Chain A
Amino acid sequence: MTPVLRILIPLVILLALVSLALGPAGLGLGESLRALVLGGDGPAVLVMREIRLPRVLLALMIGASLGLSGAAMQGFLRNPLAEPGIIGVSGAAAFGAVLALQTGFAALFALALPLAALAGALVAVLLLVALAGPRGGSLTLILAGIAISAMAGALTSLVLNLSPNPYAAGEIVFWMMGSLADRSVTHVMLALPFTLLGWLLLLRSARGLEALTLGEDAAEGLGIDLTRLRWQVVLGTAAAIGAATAVAGVIGFVGLVVPHLLRARVAGRPGRLLAVSAVGGAAMLLAADIAVRLIAPDRDLKLGVLTALIGAPFFLRLLWQMRRARA
């Protein structure tokens, strides 16, 4: 096991316990864990199993998806500024959800909103396949992703623009900020299969990403099938990030920042970074989700707002360092 995981895994467990113990119901840590594990029929059990556990599980899953796909995307594009949103799937998923909110489809049944978002993500993947082609290069792929992001962003703005009532617009804006509040076990169950499929595809790309350290030509010479690797990374990211966006909205910067923070801990190796970055992403999102509840317990501070608030200055610092390294 990579040494850094010996720190990160206990950290994730600790943060998960803190998150489980946190909430307006005012249950102590011992009391909450007893209710969670032993069950029964009191209100504490309901709070733990229906409210707090899904929240912790989603933070774990989505944080890991963001960290893992960020590391895979950076490794594949050999660019430390790449992030999972680059292929346009999160933007398209958000648009699917926005459309569902606007049309009232989201109110029809419990999973209508995340299902609409997943449909948006699927459309983005089909567009990517059509635009970047089965044998298209990395540059075509990035450009197609940028085009899809731009299109989804424009359509989202259009919906907001034409929104007849300010409450619907407000609801849309709040949803897009990203949050893990009030999610249920059904959200976990919906996201889980796509998330696991995404993780499987991404973790299998480790060998190819290692070889890509030497560039595309040398990697092919080492026996790596680049077309297959490209689709492993793109479809893996699409499945994991599509599911994450569907249940939690858009959460930025985790996928960009976490691989950076941890790269030096795996001696720069892009294949090893995958698992480490997944655990690191889970830790960061759990911490951020604890922070939103501690900073403003009564104001429903959005998770995506917090990650961007912390992530953007970090990103600037990174650019600053890169500029100095080049000078």
Chain B
Amino acid sequence: MSLLLIRDLSVELAERPVFSGVSFELREGELVGLIGPNGAGKTTLMRAAMGLLPFSGESSLAELSPQYRARHAAWLPQQREIAWPVSVEDLVALGRLPHGTGGAEADRLAVDSALDRLQLDPLRHRDATQLSGGEQARALIARALAQESRLLLADEPIAGLDPAHQIAVMEVFADLAKEGHGLLVSLHDLGLAARHCTRLILVAEGGILADGPPAKVLVPELLARAFQITAIHEDTPDGPVFQPLRVLK
């Protein structure tokens, strides 16, 4: 089933086109990595898809009313803000806001399950503003999961996490995809993208340069064009291994 349909999407910021004519579809069970160099428009693409900034073209999400959209799709911005000294539990419970009041039991289960998935249960009563950067990042991911939406759009959710937590979060995302959710996740770590994503969308040069399984996207010609790098990409018994090597002059 299709969870997100983007057709001929174009965005201008300050009268400068960021990208134009972008189309893709995201189906349930997919963990799609959105990759591309800095400034390619990954964040803009996700915000436009959510309907949070003006665009031309179509996004199936932007057509929904804000409250209904929030039940269908969770949005995890790159900017990690926790304005007030709330407990981790209360922070995660903010994900339940779109569901309105009345479902106290469902809310509790959703919060518990999100805390559990991110291994945050021991921290649930701690002041979220006093946590380490990595713990805050995981608490904010848990907030998005507590929303229990079919679709999750996450902007660089694993930036700043230690390797163990980066892998753990990508495994949580992969599990969600296996359970039938759809995820669109922007990433700079191509190694993790290669290992965990079912599909990659490469954004560069004002549009989508490539869209397909990691092995078809992370090829020398596209890497040279989009990132100006070389890399090795090997299939091992432990899964695909991808390592960027050099910057092309």
Contacts and interface: CB of A to CB of B under 8 A. Distances in A.
B75 interface: yes
B132 to A, nearest CB: 16
Interface stretch (B24-32, B63-71, B191-199, B230-238): B63-71
Interface stretch (A169-177, A180-188, A265-273, A307-315): A265-273
Nearest to A224: B66
B90 A215 contact: no
Contacts of A50: none
Interface in B77-120: 77, 79, 81-87, 90-91, 94-95, 97-98
A213 B67 CA distance: 18
Interface in B103-156: 127, 140, 143, 147
Contacts of B84: 75, 78, 213, 263, 268-270
Contacts of B219: none
A267 B95 CA distance: 17
B52 A220 contact: yes
A207 interface: yes
A222 B81 contact: no
A221 B86 contact: no
Interface in A258-316: 263-264, 267-270
B78 to A, nearest CB: 9
A221 B97 CA distance: 11
B85 A217 contact: no
B4 interface: no
B76 interface: yes
Chain B CB within 10 A, most for which of A211, A215, A263, A268: A268
Contact of B83 (A78, A207, A217, A224): A78
A267 B86 contact: yes
B83 A221 contact: no
Contacts of B91: 213-214
Nearest to A221: B75
B77 A222 contact: no
B81 A269 contact: no
B81 A214 contact: yes
A213 B97 contact: no
B48 interface: no
B40 interface: no
B50 interface: yes
B9 interface: no
A215 B69 contact: no
Contacts of A211: 94, 97
B54 to A, nearest CB: 11
Given A213-B94, A223-B70, A218 B87 contact: no
B64 to A, nearest CB: 9
B74 interface: yes
A210 B84 CA distance: 10
Contacts of B74: 221
A324 B71 CA distance: 41
A268 B85 contact: yes
Contacts of B95: 222
A212 interface: yes
Contact of B52 (A207, A221, A269): A221
Contacts of A264: 85
A31 interface: no
Given A223-B66, A223-B70, A267-B90, A218 B77 contact: yes
B79 A222 contact: no
B50 A221 contact: yes
Given A78-B83, A222-B70, A223-B66, A214 B98 contact: no
A220 to B, nearest CB: 5
Contacts of B143: 214
Contacts of A212: 83
A281 to B, nearest CB: 19
B66 A225 contact: yes
B75 to A, nearest CB: 3
A208 B95 CA distance: 13
B59 to A, nearest CB: 14
The 3 closest A-B pairs by CB, nearest first: A221-B75, A215-B81, A223-B70
Given A213-B83, A214-B143, 9 more contacts: A75-B84, A78-B81, A210-B94, A213-B84, A213-B91, A221-B76, A222-B97, A267-B87, A270-B83
18 contacts: A207-B97, A210-B94, A213-B83, A217-B47, A218-B76, A218-B77, A218-B81, A221-B74, A221-B75, A223-B66, A223-B97, A264-B85, A267-B86, A267-B87, A268-B84, A268-B85, A268-B90, A269-B86
